[in-house]
Structure 1
Amino acid sequence: MRRSFWRTVCALTGAWLLTHAASAQCSRVVFSANPDYPPYHWAEGDRIVGASVALTGRIFDELGVAWEARHVGPWPRVLKSAEHGQIDLIVSLKATPEREAYLVFTHAPAFPNPMAVFSAKARPVRFDSPQDLVGKLGGRTAGDRFGDAFDRYAEQSLTLEDADSLSVNFVKLAAGRIDYVVTGLYTGRAQLLRMGMSDRIVPLPRPVNEGDIHHGFSRRSPCAALVEAVNQRLATAQRDGLQRRLLEEALQQWQRSQAGAQRP
């Protein structure tokens, strides 16, 4: 019992020392994100706001590290800024081999990012498996992917029309021109709030897949030394259900911001 106690003390002390050594190298973290990806994050003036900022800011506050959520421009510019070390961190994005060349990703996910099937309330669609969509006409945004298994099945057995944007797909769905739309659960809900259509189109209960997104520190930033400390706190947030709660709160924040923007 005594030996176990001291092992725990040593582990906690080591984690504390690691965090404070990293903090000494990184006195301030500047992070950014896709400026149009609600409810995870979106731009308001020169700031990025949303669930990603709420979670990440909380983590850095716990670590005693100053931070800034900065809007640096369009999404390609955000990626380039991290690649060149002009920002320290990109929050809540998909880890890919190409991005891993210049980003150090957390192992624990920043947020869940499940894909879902949306249907019109007036014309409900059953979805327990991809086979239920055979014979129906679906919509997706050009370039979107939903996991290898679903993508392979869709290519072989489903009929999906590509559109330039999610809003176009939801308009087509509301008009009865397609039977369903496949997109991200939370981003789809945010888009419906933006369009004022959340009372007409709803996500179906069973997700297409249970994807995740992660934080990525620039390999050129001294703040990359914080990745393990951030990883530990993300894992704790996941166990506590904090991430999903923050997403629901951010959807309400997004809805209020859209209502304010529409007032004359």
Structure 2
Amino acid sequence: MKPWLLLGLLLAAGLARGEAPTLRYCDHPVYPPISWSDAAGSVQGVAPRAVREVAQRLGLALEIVVLGNWQRCLSDAGEGRVDLVIAYRSAEREAQLLFSQEPLLQEEVVLFYNRERPLKVQRLEDLAGYRGGLLFGESYGQAFDQLVAVHGNVERVASNQQNFGKLIRGRIDFIAHERRTGQLFVEYLPGAERIAMAPLTLAVDQLHFAISRRSPLVAWQGRIDAELRRLREEGAVERWLAESEAAYRAMQEAGR
């Protein structure tokens, strides 16, 4: 028997005895309002709030693990060192992660650029002539991922501060990023007046709970999906988005 299947049986037995197992959730909190760190260093946003709520409803103890970049979260999930991440689905990731059937929310991915260095882009292939920026581990669809792999025209860093700072200074030509997150992040970024969004939409994709295939929680996918469905039916996700945006702006205003 594979060790993670044995762990699943042990987890079920533990629950039958009233024990609360621990769900290890990995987050890289640099995506407000989805995931961000407050002034005290606590992880906030829709993603960790949804994980906390689902864990509570299922009677699971929760440990939030914060690592230095998104690639490390994905690697730790693939190796079974953490149980859960919230991510976009891709064929490469599905080899190591079991994605929820019910999405948490939908995101639109767009291009941010420096107004002083306009992009002449009408289709994805036009990006081949420009230098872009991404965070470690980011994936924005098979077509985009293949383009940057073929042309080698993307530099990867660990934080949005680094990435948008390079864009403001003209060291890169574009950043591929979620529209909602990018707009909120640059509101309080020095030099943000230089940043604009291109009309091209790279992708419209959905964020899912993604369980490590080495985790005992694979046996809980159906229950996790049921709770995610209830959250969406209750309107909780949209409510949390609005609350998270307001809290992030309040923190930024307080720090000025």
Matches within 5 A, 1:7-26: 24=16
Pick from 161, 172, 176 the counterpart of residue 182 of structure 1: 176
Instruction: Decide whether the 8 Å contact of 2:29 with 2:66 is kept in 1.
Output: no
Which structure has more strand as a fraction of its residues?
Answer: 2
Pick from 20, 30, 50 the counterpart of residue 23 of structure 2: 30
Which residue does 1:203 correspond to in 2? Answer: 197
**Alpha-carbon spacing, 1:169–1:77, altered in 2? closer, same or farther (3 Å):** closer
Which residue does 1:56 correspond to in 2? Answer: 51
> What is the CA–CA distance in structure 2 between the aligned matches of 1:92 and 1:109, rounded to whole Å?
10
Shift of 1:116: 0.9
Shift of 1:52: 0.8
**Alpha-carbon spacing, 1:216–1:151, altered in 2? closer, same or farther (3 Å):** closer
Matches within 5 A, 1:220-259: 221-235=215-229, 237=231, 242-243=236-237, 245-259=239-253
SS across alignment from 2:221: helix
Q: 1:30-58 CA distances to partner (integer Å, 9 max, x unpaired)?
A: 33222333222245667532211222333
Q: 1:216-255 CA distances to partner (integer Å, 9 max, x unpaired)?
A: 3345554443321221332455577654553453233333
Which residue does 1:111 correspond to in 2? Answer: 105
Shift of 1:59: 3.2
Q: 1:82-109 CA distances to partner (integer Å, 9 max, x unpaired)?
A: 8446x5x323124456655654331222
**Alpha-carbon spacing, 1:259–1:28, altered in 2? closer, same or farther (3 Å):** farther
- Please give the TM-score of this superposition, normalised by the length of structure 2: 0.65
Code of the aligned partner of 1:91: V
Code of the aligned partner of 1:256: A
> What is the CA–CA distance in structure 1 between the aligned matches of 2:66 and 2:172, rounded to whole Å?
37
Q: 1:111-143 CA distances to partner (integer Å, 9 max, x unpaired)?
A: 334321113467766766436x56974522276
Which residue does 1:8 correspond to in 2? Answer: none
SS across alignment from 1:208: strand
Pick from 202, 217, 228 the counterpart of residue 211 of structure 2: 217
Instruction: Decide whether the 8 Å contact of 1:53 with 1:69 is kept in 2.
Output: no
Which residue does 2:124 correspond to in 1? Answer: 130
> What is the CA–CA distance in structure 1 between the aligned matches of 2:19 and 2:187, rounded to whole Å?
38
- Please give the TM-score of this superposition, normalised by the length of structure 1: 0.63
SS across alignment from 1:71: strand
**Mean Cα displacement is larger for which, 119-128 or 49-58?**
119-128
Which residue does 2:3 correspond to in 1? Answer: none
* Unmatched runs of 5 consecutive residues or more in structure 1: 1-19
**Mean Cα displacement is larger for which, 20-29 or 189-198?**
20-29
**Alpha-carbon spacing, 1:127–1:245, altered in 2? closer, same or farther (3 Å):** farther
SS across alignment from 2:211: strand
The root-mean-square deviation of aligned C-alpha atoms, in Å, is 4.4
